[in-house]
Structure 1
């Protein structure tokens, strides 16, 4: 015997309680709209909290042109959302929630407490003051013929019919935190760009001599991979290479290129060559590289790992060490994912063209950006845009 699901009618429904969904709910709640937020996990914003363990980089404090240049491609809808809610707006938003922030030497913006939890608590408290209804362990299973969203809940099947629905369902990495991309199976295939790892670590099969360098940092390098370039550092791990420098160029690996590392980016090739020529015949190469060129043990180990047999002239190696054989780590381990809901299937207001009054935002959209504050800022900006246009949809329904 089939059991019919209980149906509820609300003004606005937000599905997904990550930063994009919470920002959409904030705009709705501020406008006095009745909003229900549902999330499949036992607690909200789990990936957001995980990001906060390393400091919660909420944005990058730079001009809008420079900021938007890190999004490639940059669809008009995303560009508009970012223009309306850029770095300065994110800073003001955090401070309005009582969270003091600071800008680091590289322009990255962090809460002074270097944690996500105080900001999240203040955010949830504000939503509660607006009357938002947050429901946990509600997993979306589809939409029925009337447009109602269908959920599996601890109390059984439930349906919600909303005047405006916002999807903020996340990407396809870190499934244990709720982002598994399963929602894509509920959408027509033509509307979804295949998911792929972004901001990913690399797998490398090491020789045994690298073991003692696991956990060591390779600092002060420039990395290139296809069209992508990064200045920074990375970590040698037992599984390969990871860290900000690697994440920034991992898209190039996905596109079929090899990572090339300039171990001495501040020293011109001619100067490196001249230094190498001063090596004495009986001088150990390792000692020479360490003393004369000030290469760290980790940099020397990388040379020995990837450049053997060593050429007579090490200049091209030191200025362009090819990390051969590196592969992307599995997608679920990536910080973010490329792919998702295609912008071609959305209006400029992030409304799904085939689903009137259903809007989408956050990492479920097909956009890509590096770490460094760009990811969270774009989630907040698209969530805000979706929330604002959903207000208009709710208002229009009242006038009918």
Structure 2
């Protein structure tokens, strides 16, 4: 009689776990409480599905911070090149963007998901929607229920009390890769909401990152702020410092600014001589920062707080890492594994979130398959 496994959650981690198990000859049923699979995955792919990153693996692994010791073996077992090959096997070609991020050429999640669901159906995986997990029933199980961001798309964290009742420690969820609130003036907000601030460097609590920002109605977001979000969230109170010309030294910029302004307005002068965009010039005004070399290279911006879990790209918190073994099996619930964003790890955007979700699913599914086959 074939072995039977249930996978709870039809996001990318759950679908990947089901594929690995089915290819090992195991009968798999996926349960998801939503009406359709991978809702958050589809949303993430609307602006370009960032599958993984092409940077050297050692640098890649540093992005996981304190969770690296647990995640590293899984990412070695299913690294970025394996994820790219898997996507190619579905007929989805990929490319490496200028930032090193890896995307499908079609820049969407829906073609990949359609091909993936066809493959899963072809290898016998059954998908049951509108089916919510209510507790461990002795069936070998892989839990892939997600974290707590964008709850209306499925990751509503309603599984937390079930695991806590079993004595499993679950750390409180917090927004990660989130917009931070800023009290803009109405004039600035109305003029610049939706405007990118490109090629900047941000410094907070001794950490410096390069990237891009986006001005929003409520505050500021984008890859550079996401990369600092853990420090900003856990050690609030100080302004983030923005360097608008990270490729120039203060001295080189100061030398440029000695050139006479002539009949140019200050804005035109700063645009021509310092290379500042209109949004950068107005950010200096908004914060009352002098438009000299020191101010352009180190403008302080006071942030209020993260915007909240509802629209955060991802969440920190979840199952404490010491509650699972090296294969992501729950120590207090043998035969039950937890993968993806259910676990208490976080990473910046750039492909790191999906990569770890896929890799933990592969590691857990391979181990469960081997356990079942060995009896």
Q: Distance in 2 between matches of 1:379 and 1:107?
A: 19
- Show the counterpart of 2:275: 294
Say whether the 8 Å CA contact 1:168–1:361 is kept in structure 2.
yes
Matching of residues 62-141 of structure 1 within 5 Å: 62-141=55-134
Check if 1:212 corresponds to 2:191.
yes
Deviation at 1:265, TM superposition (A): 0.8
Say whether the 8 Å CA contact 1:203–1:240 is kept in structure 2.
yes
Q: Which has the larger radius of gyration?
A: 1
- Show the counterpart of 1:229: 208
Check if 1:329 corresponds to 2:307.
yes
Q: Distance in 2 between matches of 1:258 and 1:67?
A: 28
- Show the counterpart of 1:5: none
Question: What number of residue pairs does the alignment pair up?
Answer: 369
Q: Distance in 2 between matches of 1:279 and 1:250?
A: 40
Say whether the 8 Å CA contact 1:229–1:248 is kept in structure 2.
no
Q: Which moved more, 1:375-384 or 1:327-336?
A: 327-336
Q: Distance in 1 between matches of 2:373 and 2:119?
A: 22
The 3-state SS of whatever aligns with 1:25 is helix
Q: Distance in 1 between matches of 2:261 and 2:39?
A: 57
Q: Distance in 2 between matches of 1:102 and 1:282?
A: 47
Moved segments of 4+, more than 4 Å: 279-284
Deviation at 1:227, TM superposition (A): 4.5
Say whether the 8 Å CA contact 1:347–1:353 is kept in structure 2.
yes
- Show the counterpart of 1:28: 21
Counterpart selection for 2:248 from 267, 274, 279: 267
The 3-state SS of whatever aligns with 1:265 is coil
The 3-state SS of whatever aligns with 2:200 is strand
Deviation at 1:108, TM superposition (A): 1.0
Counterpart selection for 2:363 from 382, 385, 389: 385
Deviation at 1:370, TM superposition (A): 0.8
Distance 1:387 1:277, change over 3 A: same
Distance 1:99 1:287, change over 3 A: closer
Deviation at 1:61, TM superposition (A): 1.2
Deviation at 1:249, TM superposition (A): 1.8
Say whether the 8 Å CA contact 1:357–1:393 is kept in structure 2.
no
Q: Distance in 1 between matches of 2:354 and 2:108?
A: 14
Counterpart selection for 1:195 from 150, 170, 173: 173
Q: Distance in 2 between matches of 1:65 and 1:203?
A: 33
- Show the counterpart of 1:366: 344
**Structure with greater strand percent:** 1
Deviation at 1:208, TM superposition (A): 2.4
Deviation at 1:142, TM superposition (A): 2.7
The 3-state SS of whatever aligns with 2:49 is coil
The 3-state SS of whatever aligns with 1:47 is helix
Q: Distance in 1 between matches of 2:324 and 2:80?
A: 25
Is there any run of 5+ residues in structure 2 with no aligned partner, and where?
A: none
Q: Distance in 2 between matches of 1:258 and 1:26?
A: 46
Deviation at 1:207, TM superposition (A): 1.0
Counterpart selection for 2:293 from 311, 315, 337: 315
Say whether the 8 Å CA contact 2:149–2:155 is kept in structure 1.
yes
Deviation at 1:296, TM superposition (A): 1.0
Q: Structure 2 length as normaliser, TM-score? A: 0.93
- Show the counterpart of 2:52: 59
Distance 1:33 1:190, change over 3 A: closer
